[in-house]
Structure 1
Amino acid sequence: MAPVTFGARPDKSGIEFAVWSSRASKIELCLFDAADHEIERLPMVPGEKDVFQLYVKGAGVGMRYGYRADGDYDPARGLWFDPDKLLVDPYAVEVDRPYVYDARLGARRGEGGDTAPLMPKAIVTALPTAPSVAPPLFQPGGLIYELPVRAFSKRHPDVPKEDRGTLRALAHPAVIDHLKKIGVSAVELMPVTAKIDERHLPPLGLTNAWGYNPVTFMALDPHLAPRGMADLQATTNALRQAGIGVILDLVFNHTGESDERGPTLSLRGLDNLAYYRHEPDGRLINDTGTGNTLACDHPAVRDLILASLRYFVSHAGVDGFRFDLAPVLGRDGEGFNANAQLLAAMRSDPVLSDRILIAEPWDIGPGGYQLGRFGSPFLEWNDKYRDDVRRFWRGDSGMVGRLATRLAGSSDAFIGEKQSRSVNFIAAHDGMTLADLVRYEKKHNEANGEANRDGHDENLSWNLGVEGESAEPRIVAGRAGDQRALLATLFASRGTIMLTAGDEFGRSQHGNNNAYAQDNELTWLDWEKCDLALEDHVAALSALRRSLIALSDTEFLTGQPRNDKSLPDVAWMTETGLPMDEAAWNDPVRRRLMMVLAGAGEDAGRLAVLVNGDRRASTFVLPLRDGYRWLDALDQDASAEAWRLVEGRAVAFMIERRADKGEAG
């Protein structure tokens, strides 16, 4: 496509508007006043490369506008032109109000009337000169904290009421203190761009709480950012000053225009066949489960996505991005291509090439599971890690070898590479919370209004008694111990690690594993009922991980020395201190494992991670070296011993120190 700057660009004399469509016969620019009245409708001038442009002299910053596109209307062939539908500019950087679903937005041509009163209007915004962008703070191997902006702070007692549920809350000192306490390297903000509710939610009295149903890719949701980009800029700056990066979770795989019954809001009305993937007969391809799939191999879509990413880097200074259902970004007519033009452009673009890029490496289309295939520098969510760790702690047989593979960085998923690109996680926004994993064996999504049919049926979860909360001390203690063990496993694993907000202090959604529509106290974090002992445990684990390169390194563990003078990077042992042999690895009932990691230097002490997956306590015999002694890594005042008793279902960390100098490895 031609190097045209799309959207609305103000100067001293007026505004230049530009929008792209290859099939529209006519596009009109509609201007609105602050009272939402349409004050002018102006035909745009078609030009080269299917670009419609218009310069409006005398118009200025703050002008509200939208587009109307006309052309052939034949939905069966994928043509949806309807001048009654007011369309939001795909390049809008601010909208005047949130999107609200109304059935009239999806009415057929000639049946629903003018949708302008129902639609947000784009606001012409003068963006400041982009400052020099600092390098990302976050580096692979750190701790990502996945965070739903609204639910995170809606009930936070220290945040001013007017800021609760917004981006501004994240800049509050109490919030930053919490993030620093648990050692967060970067917050990953679940979608903050403007979205719309799925059409089945309003009749149920529900709303989309997660934000994975976007309309415009650059305009922020007014609920979350009442001051638009200024809120994201201020929050990012405050977090950076505290040493915490910001990663945006963005959705470029579909839009809220949904299937053929969905609303016409923007891309569908401008050029449906170009912006979305279609079957040869004109039917929408649904590789996302949402009704439509963006055609990321089309130049118009590719340019829009790249412009959106550059916008957030240049004007908010974010560290990087996580991409929902990321295989869509690399899909073309032949399937997924890791070297697709869009993915290649992200790697090489001068604005984006140093940013953190994280792929959710699956969608529901053909060949949709692509874990390990995105290539460097992409990090990838690792569901194999999630599932194998859950299976081990649930008590499934034959899991000790797979647990070791996950602890060592999941080299089986990233074949041929030296560094792990794995994002390890136990729980995420999609699924049960970490606390619910040990409370509920089955999902409880009744509140979603779909008769508990939605969400995953297999959660690899367990409970020690009746489902739900129990006051019986033995059960409560057992659940607390299981959570600690899961968290310790996460912090002991090679690769980048991710924790979802509230899992550090035991948040529960009462078994709901698909709470996307629960914008209420089910998902709002209850800060006044947090488990402070569990939170302190996470803080200690995080501090240990940050202090030892043996934990935060991303190189795969191989069992070989890094150089001629060093110890093997890892030794796998039984609880008796003997090397794991073939019989031990293949023992289906083995529940114990010792991982001994080499220190950073020739004389550095080792770190032993003792995993007891049995309900019974076990004594681990530690491997001894002359001139060294073992101490509890989380309580280094504890006396040195050649053995360590590990209570049932727990992970312990032992650090080796030189006996003469008392220096940590």
Structure 2
Amino acid sequence: MNKNNNFFYYENPGSETLLKTEKGYPKLGATVDSEGVNFALFTKNGKKVWLELYQNFYDDKPSHIFELDPVKNKTGNVWHIYIHNIKHGQFYGWRVDGIYDPINGLRFNKYKLLSDPYAKAISGSYNWDDDAVYGYDKHSDLLDLSFSKIDSAISPTKSIVIDDSIYDWENDVHPRIPFKDLIIYELNVRLFTMNPNSKVNSRGTFEGLLEKLYHLKDLGVNAIELMPIFEFNPDSIIRTNPVTGEKLKDVWGYNPLVFFAVTGNYSNGLKIGEQVYLFKDFVKTLHKEGFEVILDVVYNHTGEGNELGPTLSFRGIDNPIYYILSENKRYYENYSGTGNTFNCNHTVVKNLIIDSLRYWVTEMHVDGFRFDLASILGRDPKGNWIGDLSLLKDIAEDPIISGSKLIAEGWDAAGGYFLGAFPEGWAEWNGKFRDAVRKFVKGDEGLVGEIACRIAGSEDLYGNKSPIASVNFVTSHDGFTMWDLVSYNEKHNEENGENNNDGANDNYSFNYGIEGETDDEEILKIRKKQIKNFFTILMISQGTPMIYMGDEFCRTQHGNNNAYCQDTIKNWVDWNRLNKFNDIFLFVKKLIDFRKKHHTLRRDHFFTGKDYTGDGIPDITWHGVKLNNPDFSYNSKSLAFMISGIDFADQTYSPDNDIYVAMNFFEEDLIFELPKERNWYRVIDTFFESPNDFLDFPQRVYNNYKVKSKSIIVLISK
């Protein structure tokens, strides 16, 4: 070790560079300025901390090693050091030594080079097959109670210093599309363009997605919700496909390893930092084209898995701080269903998550977040729901994150279901909307009352907020695609290698005579009609609609309702189906445009049912085959309603058309009386095939309308 006044350093004998250091300051991560970089790491229970610099990401020997002085280089539980004359692009990693006692939750191992939890980029790729990344001896009968002395620096995954200030955003601003006007499109970056028939030059990347942006603009969506893009290991699954024998891949990316680092898996290049700026280019382009960018973020668990998982970062930095441990501290609570649960309401972890969100808003310019298994963020370390006292409240009230869209998945894998219970400022995926619409369209009984509630914005759930808090969807990445919803009675997840035990069993699906794909014209006709019914209900409902990628042209996953591990052509979006099902695409496109043109479908307040003008017309009226006589009985399968074009609660809106909708899911046709004193024009009748299912020039109808079995009509007044 060399010493020079207050500066000190360890130097690899092969290095020729002497680096001047100072004690630094306790700002976590790697902070760049004109003179050098400040590094800081939190660990409460760690006894010794080293920072290592690497000349190349593939080096297994550092160029410099700095042992931090627990007196000079420590403030509270934050260890820090400032190093002069290093800059953007520097590779580095941390080591933390302490007690290795898994029985009591301590898993320190100085032989493991650890990723910085605040790293903004990670080089190379993780390798779960390498014994070096495990804190224990994988070949020992003691399993994780054993100890590994293999140096994990052999891995190419080094943290990278990133200087965000050198990127030119060119006056980019957040679009700030009002929540009520959002039409969200959920997609996976790789799956969206990986199929050769996507005909993009850069398949499976952010750039490839931009090459397909014309399709999304044509469709009419205005917010793209990206499935996870935090750094993750696509090779983390050890199982193979029992049908093909090929190794399964974590293609969805729901096992994050660093919460600040955009993955290099969706960019071309060496993954040595350029992925950060490529993502910024991506966001800047989307903003210029009028799209908001929403990230599906996973803060409830990490990719380090259970007690037999690798030691990559949090586990080796301070295991009992970052994770919720079970009563037997050797093991992890598993509210996420993935092996561990992040300790989200510990102060240090809360700050980490909020800092991450702030980074994505300020430096990456994203517009919102969808939180995977968000109910975990509302649990205390004992698993109790604490809602308004939790991190959820802190996020919603944070002055920097404020203004961003916050969308929660209101349930978790441990049975927590807190739909409607999230603090002010949160919208939620409405799983009850999904299930009710699926069952109603299928023809189940006992749903008319609930479907009315869901169409009106789910006031039973969000009555203290607004209809826009309800993110309405029929399908998402979890579960069947919309086409599979009308093509399969049962899930077919055999190729996932879990004996078809994974994925939801309650899909509320129906195949209409044949399981899977068919050329039977009658079956195809009813399937298409049901697809149009799903989309029609979605787009005429109060709330915020979300579409899953490819549903607009009947994408199939061949019956797999949990395709998280299928990086194959069977799971890649098949763009040939856009031509095959162009009639469905045109219908959905017109529906989206219809919603945009009628503000009465996009209210940010609930209906009252009151007649404000004395003309006998409330803001919404419910009907059956007879006017003002809806059938809410258990056996009913039909419902009609009329929405007034006048927004009584907000007089700033000019009068819109009145909209009348009748839905019939009985097996026989029904004749519905139409509201009097209006001239009605038919826009939609899902019974007809294209182009008569959606009329560009609405046709006048009189007095009543025969709604065919399993069909929906939409009329407007003029």
CA distance 1:256–1:129, shift in 2 (3 Å): same
Mapping of residues 149-160 of structure 1, within 5 Å: 149-155=189-195, 157=197, 160=200
More deviation in 553-562 or 203-212? 553-562
Q: Separation in 1 of the partners of 2:613 and 2:360? A: 42
Q: Separation in 1 of the partners of 2:573 and 2:204? A: 11
1:7 to 17, 21, 29: 29
Mapping of residues 42-81 of structure 1, within 5 Å: 42-46=66-70, 47-81=74-108
* Alpha-carbon offset, residue 540 of structure 1: 0.7
Paired letter, 2:617: L
Q: Which runs of 5+ in 1 are unaligned?
A: 658-665
Matched, 1:426 2:462: no
Deviations 1:227-267 (A, max 9, x none): 32212211212111221111000000000111101111100
Matched, 1:527 2:527: no
Q: 1:270 aligns to what?
A: 317
CA distance 1:57–1:129, shift in 2 (3 Å): closer
Mapping of residues 132-143 of structure 1, within 5 Å: 134-141=173-180, 142-143=182-183
1:575 to 625, 632, 635: 625
Matched, 1:559 2:612: no
Task: Specify the SS of the correspondent of 1:521.
Answer: coil
CA distance 1:61–1:292, shift in 2 (3 Å): same
Paired letter, 1:223: N
Paired letter, 2:118: Y
8 A Cα contact 2:373 2:411, kept in partner: yes
Deviations 1:516-552 (A, max 9, x none): 0001112211112221110101001100101101112
Task: Specify the SS of the correspondent of 1:223.
Answer: helix
1:547 to 557, 581, 597: 597
Q: 1:375 aligns to what?
A: 423
CA distance 1:315–1:253, shift in 2 (3 Å): same
* Alpha-carbon offset, residue 185 of structure 1: 2.1
More deviation in 370-379 or 111-120? 111-120
Q: 1:449 aligns to what?
A: 497
2:286 to 211, 222, 239: 239
Task: Specify the SS of the correspondent of 2:51.
Answer: strand
Paired letter, 1:597: I
8 A Cα contact 2:60 2:155, kept in partner: no
Paired letter, 1:277: I
1:640 to 700, 705, 710: 700
Q: 2:233 aligns to what?
A: 196
Mapping of residues 378-389 of structure 1, within 5 Å: 378-389=426-437
* Alpha-carbon offset, residue 136 of structure 1: 4.5
* Alpha-carbon offset, residue 629 of structure 1: 4.0
Task: Specify the SS of the correspondent of 1:316.
Answer: coil
Q: Separation in 2 of the partners of 1:604 and 1:445? A: 47
The TM-score with structure 2 as length reference comes to 0.86
* Alpha-carbon offset, residue 423 of structure 1: 0.7
Paired letter, 2:701: E
Paired letter, 1:425: F
* Alpha-carbon offset, residue 333 of structure 1: 3.8
8 A Cα contact 1:372 1:414, kept in partner: yes
CA distance 1:45–1:399, shift in 2 (3 Å): same
CA distance 1:305–1:604, shift in 2 (3 Å): closer
Paired letter, 1:265: L
CA distance 1:290–1:604, shift in 2 (3 Å): closer
Q: Separation in 2 of the partners of 1:233 and 1:156? A: 26
Paired letter, 1:644: Y
* Alpha-carbon offset, residue 556 of structure 1: 2.2
Q: Separation in 1 of the partners of 2:511 and 2:387? A: 40
Q: 1:98 aligns to what?
A: 125
Q: 1:624 aligns to what?
A: 676
Task: Specify the SS of the correspondent of 2:179.
Answer: coil
Matched, 1:349 2:349: no
Number of aligned residue pairs: 647
Q: 2:20 aligns to what?
A: none
* Alpha-carbon offset, residue 15 of structure 1: 1.9
Task: Specify the SS of the correspondent of 1:231.
Answer: helix
Q: Which runs of 5+ in 2 are unaligned?
A: 1-23, 137-145, 242-246, 269-273, 649-654, 685-693
Q: Separation in 2 of the partners of 1:107 and 1:333? A: 25
* Alpha-carbon offset, residue 412 of structure 1: 1.5
8 A Cα contact 2:25 2:82, kept in partner: no
Q: Separation in 2 of the partners of 1:225 and 1:345? A: 33
Matched, 1:215 2:257: yes
* Alpha-carbon offset, residue 209 of structure 1: 0.7
Q: 1:662 aligns to what?
A: none
CA distance 1:41–1:601, shift in 2 (3 Å): closer
CA distance 1:4–1:610, shift in 2 (3 Å): farther
Paired letter, 1:641: V
Paired letter, 2:148: E
Task: Specify the SS of the correspondent of 2:700.
Answer: coil
More deviation in 617-626 or 521-530? 617-626
* Alpha-carbon offset, residue 352 of structure 1: 0.6
Paired letter, 2:41: V
Task: Specify the SS of the correspondent of 2:114.
Answer: coil
* Alpha-carbon offset, residue 564 of structure 1: 6.3
Task: Specify the SS of the correspondent of 1:457.
Answer: coil
Q: 2:715 aligns to what?
A: 654
2:185 to 126, 130, 145: 145
Paired letter, 1:585: F
* Alpha-carbon offset, residue 83 of structure 1: 1.0
More deviation in 643-652 or 380-389? 643-652
CA distance 1:579–1:311, shift in 2 (3 Å): same
Q: Separation in 1 of the partners of 2:44 and 2:419? A: 35
8 A Cα contact 1:326 1:359, kept in partner: yes
8 A Cα contact 1:445 1:451, kept in partner: yes
The TM-score with structure 1 as length reference comes to 0.93
* Alpha-carbon offset, residue 295 of structure 1: 0.8
Percent sequence identity over matched residues? 36
More deviation in 560-569 or 55-64? 560-569
Q: 1:597 aligns to what?
A: 643
Mapping of residues 480-491 of structure 1, within 5 Å: 480-491=528-539
Q: 1:183 aligns to what?
A: 220
Q: 2:527 aligns to what?
A: 479
Q: Separation in 1 of the partners of 2:319 and 2:223? A: 37
Q: Separation in 2 of the partners of 1:295 and 1:406? A: 34
Q: Separation in 2 of the partners of 1:345 and 1:84? A: 37
Matched, 1:316 2:377: no
Q: Separation in 2 of the partners of 1:158 and 1:387? A: 32
8 A Cα contact 2:174 2:287, kept in partner: no
Task: Specify the SS of the correspondent of 1:145.
Answer: strand
Paired letter, 1:396: D
Q: 1:118 aligns to what?
A: 155
Task: Specify the SS of the correspondent of 2:266.
Answer: coil
8 A Cα contact 2:554 2:577, kept in partner: no
Task: Specify the SS of the correspondent of 2:49.
Answer: strand
Task: Specify the SS of the correspondent of 1:45.
Answer: coil
Paired letter, 1:648: S
Q: 1:660 aligns to what?
A: none
2:413 to 364, 374, 381: 364
* Alpha-carbon offset, residue 220 of structure 1: 1.2
Deviations 1:111-166 (A, max 9, x none): 361111125111111111786773453322321100101001112656543x2111
Matched, 1:36 2:59: yes
Q: Separation in 1 of the partners of 2:262 and 2:219? A: 28
More deviation in 542-551 or 221-230? 221-230
Q: Separation in 2 of the partners of 1:480 and 1:72? A: 62
8 A Cα contact 2:240 2:497, kept in partner: no
8 A Cα contact 1:101 1:197, kept in partner: no
Task: Specify the SS of the correspondent of 2:76.
Answer: helix
Paired letter, 1:440: Y
Q: 2:12 aligns to what?
A: none
* Alpha-carbon offset, residue 646 of structure 1: 2.9
* Alpha-carbon offset, residue 655 of structure 1: 0.4
